[in-house]
Amino acid sequence: MSDQPSDAMTPGKPAPWNDPKIRAIVFQALLVGAVVMVGFYLINNTLYNMEQRGISTGFSFLEKESGFGVTQSLIEFDETHSYGRTFIVGLLNTILVSVLGIFFATLLGFVMGVARLSRNWLVARVATAYIEIFRNIPLLLQIFFWYFAVGINFPRPKQSYAIGETLFLNNRGLFMPRPVAEDGFGLVIAALVIAIVGVFFMVRWAHRRQDATGQPFHTVWASIGLILGLPAVAFLAAGSPLTWDMPELRGFNFKGGMSVLPELFALTLALTVYTGTFIAETVRAGIQSVSHGQTEAARALGLREAPMLQLIIIPQAMRVIIPPLTSQYLNLTKNSSLAAAIGYPDLVAVFAGTTLNQTGQAVEIIAMTMAVYLTLSLSISMLMNWYNAKMALRER
């Protein structure tokens, strides 16, 4: 009897079936159980059906010889390599075009986003026209345009545009000399690494100095000097250990040197131009979200335009820009799978295309391909979320 009143008085423990915490756990456990069971059923059913029809399963096909060639490979590859290696080749090509696309789209997007807000009438209208045109044309059409109308409409190899007998542009791609490192080139690389580490510490030192004394330091110029100068000194000291492998026309095509395929060119360009429009709009929204009072306050403090942008406007705008920017990066990576349409050998074209057809193991290959895009997307997400957390408003 004695503890009954206290039960009624304190809001404390409700019955287990009324406890929101316990309920939440039970419902979540039920949901997870249901998902696992459905997944198990589907996998089992698929395996059973495939066995019934004599479709081979498993991943042993990855070790078999592929027997087909690929145009562009970042690692050594020929017909004698395995199907597993075609996966790596395709994956690297996908990553290559995604990284290039993200880099150039970010540059283009930031420039166009800022340009659209420019007080210069012409600049602002050019940016508006660019955004409105390329945002509203389907990406696949843009890829076809850049490929069939531009990329492979350069002259044939024998009539290449040549720039000083070192750069050649034709409908097989852009051919340029390839640097070949000789003995002693390691010194140059070591110098570069030292320069980068030096810049890192210099920036930290400069920040601390400014915090302590208010004296700014010319970090940008000093960094450029360090990163270019130190390897240059090392290069000369080691006796110029570098030769060039020049492209030259032999038979049907150019041999030697490095080349950019028209497929890579068209795909990168299309992804850049298309995604750049969305990034531009994101950037514009970010900058406009910073209230005008901030600009006025900065001017009142006597800051010039550049430091005002760098110290006041951009840090605040970034908080609005980063989350949608992440989505654009994810979109770009996934859109790169349209490569198959113009014969760029990305993961979907090589592995989920040719390899799938030669082996017929659709379930395994599609599952692997999906896992790759999921992993890539989640990695980009994680990276950008980390960056976002770093840039987010710190409430003190």
Partner 1 sequence: MVVPKHGVFTTRENKVYQMKKLLVSAIPALALSIAVGTAQAGETLDAVKAKGFVQCGVSTGLPGFSVADDKGNWGGLDVDVCKAVAAALFGDAGKVKFSPLTAKERFTALQSGEIDMLSRNTTWTLTRDSNLGLNFAGVNYYDGQGFMVSKKLGVKSAKELSGASVCIQAGTTTELNLADYFRANKMEYEPITYDTSDETVKGFEAGRCDVLTSDQSQLYALRIKLSDPNGAMVLPEVISKEPLGPVVRQGDDDWFNIVRWSLFAMLNAEELGVSMKNVDEMKGSSDPNVRRLLGLEGIKGEGLGLADEWAYNIVKQVGNYGEAFERNVGSGSPLKISRGLNALWNNGGIQYAPPIR
Task: Return the range that interacts with partner 1 (CB under 8 A); candidates 17-25, 126-134, 271-279, 352-360.
Answer: 352-360
Nearer to partner 1, 60 or 118 (CB): 60
Q: How far apart are CA 77 and CA 46, in angstroms?
A: 33
Q: How far apart are CA 17 and CA 51, in angstroms?
A: 46
67 touching partner 1, by CB under 8 A: yes
User: Rounded to the nearest whole angstrom, what is the least distance from the CB of residue 275 to partner 1 in the complex?
Assistant: 19
Nearer to partner 1, 51 or 305 (CB): 51
The 102-141 site mask, x for binding partner 1 (CB under 8 A), equals: ----------------------------------------
Which of 210, 243, 288, 357 is the binder for partner 1 (CB under 8 A)? Answer: 357
Q: How far apart are CA 207 and CA 219, in angstroms?
A: 10
Per residue in 76-97, is it b (16+ CB within 10 Å) or e — as a string?
ebeeebbbbbbbbbbbbbbbbb
* Strand duo 173-176 + 161-163: pairing: unpaired
Q: What phi-psi label fits residue 239: left (phi over 0), alpha (psi between -120 and 50 degrees) or beta?
A: left
Secondary structure element (H or E) that encloses residue 181, with its range: strand 178-181
Task: Return the range that interacts with partner 1 (CB under 8 A); candidates 2-10, 53-61, 82-90, 112-120.
Answer: 53-61
Closest CA to 72 of 88, 85, 89: 89
**CB distance 295 to 308 below 8 Å:** yes
Give the position of tokens 């000399």.
177
Nearer to partner 1, 219 or 385 (CB): 385
331 touching partner 1, by CB under 8 A: no
Q: How far apart are CA 114 and CA 101, in angstroms?
A: 20
User: Rounded to the nearest whole angstrom, what is the least distance from the CB of residue 312 to partner 1 in the complex?
Assistant: 16
User: Rounded to the nearest whole angstrom, what is the least distance from the CB of residue 381 to partner 1 in the complex?
Assistant: 7
166 touching partner 1, by CB under 8 A: no
Three-state SS at 54: coil
Outline where 117-181 has alpha helix (H). 121-135, 139-144
The 174-213 site mask, x for binding partner 1 (CB under 8 A), equals: ----------------------------------------
252 touching partner 1, by CB under 8 A: yes
Q: Which residues bind partner 1 (CB under 8 A)?
A: 42-43, 45-46, 49-50, 52-56, 67-71, 79, 148, 152-153, 156, 171-172, 250-253, 255, 262-263, 319-324, 340-343, 345, 349, 353-354, 356-363, 366-367, 370, 373-374, 377-378, 381, 385, 388, 392-393
